[in-house]
Chain A
Amino acid sequence: MSSGLASAVGRDRVDDAVWRRWFALVWPPLLAAVILLTSWEFVVWWFKLPNFVLPGPAEIVATATEEPRRVLIDTWTTVVEALTGYVAGSLLGLGLAIFFVTFGKIERLVLPIYVTINSVPMVAYGPLAIILLGIGSASKIVLITVAVSYQVLINALAGLRSCDPGAIALLRTFGANDRTILLKLRVPGAMPSIMFGLRVAVVHAMILAVVLEMLGARAGLGWSVYKSTQMMYFVEAWVAVGASVIVSLVIYGIVNWIGRKLVWW
Chain B
Amino acid sequence: MMARIMMAMRGLSKVATQLIALLSLMLVWEVTTHLFQISEDKLPSLSVVLATAWSGRVALLDAVLTTVFEALIGLVAGIAFGVLSGIAFSSFRLLERMLLPYFIASQAVPIIAFGAIIIIWFGNGIASKAVIAFYLSFFPVAVNTLGGIRRVSQDEIGLLRTFGASRLTILWKLQLPTALPPIFTAIRIGAGLALVGAIVGEWFGASRGLGVVLLTAMFDNQVPQLWAAILLTGLTGTVLFWVVVALQRKIAWWQAEV
Complex interface bits, A235-265 against B, C-beta within 8 A gives 1, otherwise 0: 0011011001100110010000000000000
A127 & B21 in contact (Cβ 8 Å cutoff): no
A130 with B200, Cβ < 8 A, contacts A124-B229, A214-B112 known: no
Stretch of A4-12, A27-35, A84-92, A180-188 on the interface side: A27-35
A29 & B195 in contact (Cβ 8 Å cutoff): no
Q: For the complex, what is the distance from the CA of A108 to the CA of B227, rounded to whole Å? A: 26
Main secondary structure of the interface of B (DSSP, over half): helix
A119 & B238 in contact (Cβ 8 Å cutoff): yes
A121 with B98, Cβ < 8 A, contacts A207-B112, A210-B112 known: no
> Which residues 90-127 of B have a CB within 8 angstroms of A?
94, 97-99, 101-102, 105, 107-110, 112-117, 120-121
Interface size on B, residues (CB 8 A): 54
Q: For the complex, what is the distance from the CA of A203 to the CA of B219, rounded to whole Å? A: 28
Which 4 pairs of residues, A with B, have the shortest CB-CB distance? A112-B21, A120-B234, A127-B218, A229-B116
Contacts of B195 in A (CB 8 A): 121
| In the complex, B217 has a CB within 8 A of chain A | yes
> Which residues 60-81 of B have a CB within 8 angstroms of A?
none
A131 & B233 in contact (Cβ 8 Å cutoff): no
B21 & A124 in contact (Cβ 8 Å cutoff): no
Complex interface bits, B174-196 against A, C-beta within 8 A gives 1, otherwise 0: 00000000000000000010011
Sorting the interface of chain A by its residue count into under 10, 10 to 19, 20 to 34 or 35 or more gives 35 or more
A221 & B230 in contact (Cβ 8 Å cutoff): no
Contacts of B245 in A (CB 8 A): none
Q: Which of A53, A115, A203, A241 contacts B113 (CB 8 A)?
A: A241
A112 with B199, Cβ < 8 A, contacts A32-B99, A244-B109 known: no
Q: Which of B102, B113, B204, B229 contacts A29 (CB 8 A)?
A: B102
Q: How far is the CB of A143 from chain B (nearest CB, A)?
A: 12
Contacts of B107 in A (CB 8 A): 203
Main secondary structure of the interface of A (DSSP, over half): helix
Complex interface bits, B209-225 against A, C-beta within 8 A gives 1, otherwise 0: 01000110110010100
B97 & A105 in contact (Cβ 8 Å cutoff): no
Q: How far is the CB of B84 from chain A (nearest CB, A)?
A: 19
Q: For the complex, what is the distance from the CA of A125 to the CA of B233, rounded to whole Å? A: 10
> Which residues 91-112 of A have a CB within 8 angstroms of B?
105, 108-109, 112
Please give the residue numbers on chain B whose beta carbons come within 8 Å of chain A beta carbons, in ascending order. 6, 9-10, 17-18, 20-22, 24-25, 41-42, 94, 97-99, 101-102, 105, 107-110, 112-117, 120-121, 192, 195-196, 199-200, 203-204, 210, 214-215, 217-218, 221, 223, 226-227, 229-231, 233-234, 237-238
A237 & B110 in contact (Cβ 8 Å cutoff): no
Q: Which of A109, A130, A237 contacts B117 (CB 8 A)?
A: A237
A131 with B98, Cβ < 8 A, contacts A124-B199, A211-B200 known: no
Q: How far is the CB of B129 from chain A (nearest CB, A)?
A: 13
Q: For the complex, what is the distance from the CA of A226 to the CA of B112, rounded to whole Å? A: 11
